[in-house]
């Protein structure tokens, strides 16, 4: 089953914390977004493997954009 990790706010991707192929659990941080002097980690909401990372560090994302796909 595929599950998407989506941005909780608009901002820049400050850090990508995982790599494709990594095992993650619910609550594992996938990326850290940065916007207006605030950093917000975005965590996986399911256990699984990072199948695809859709963003790079420095990219701009809007709220709701897909950041990664977990399988």
Q: Using the minimum distance from each CB to another protein, give the nearer residue, 9 or 43.
A: 9
Beta strands in 1-71 (DSSP E): 3-6, 11-16, 23-24, 29-35, 38-43, 48-53, 60-61, 66-70
The answer to the question of residue 40 lying near another protein (CB under 8 A) is yes
List the one residue from 34, 45, 59, 65 that touches another protein (CB under 8 A). Answer: 34
57/17 Cα distance (integer angstroms)? 10
| Residue 38 sits in the site that holds another protein (CB under 8 A) | yes
* Contact with another protein (CB under 8 A) among 12, 32, 59, 65: 12
Select from 2-10, 23-31, 43-51 the region that touches another protein (CB under 8 A).
2-10
């Amino acid at each position: 089953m595929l599950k998407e990790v989506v941005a909780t706010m608009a901002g820049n991707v400050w850090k990508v914390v995982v790599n494709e192929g990594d095992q993650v659990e619910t609550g594992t941080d996938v990326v850290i977004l940065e916007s207006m002097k605030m950093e917000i980690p975005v965590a996986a909401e399911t256990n699984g493997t990072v199948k695809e990372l859709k963003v790079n560090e420095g990219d701009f994302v809007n709220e709701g954009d897909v950041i990664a796909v977990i399988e």
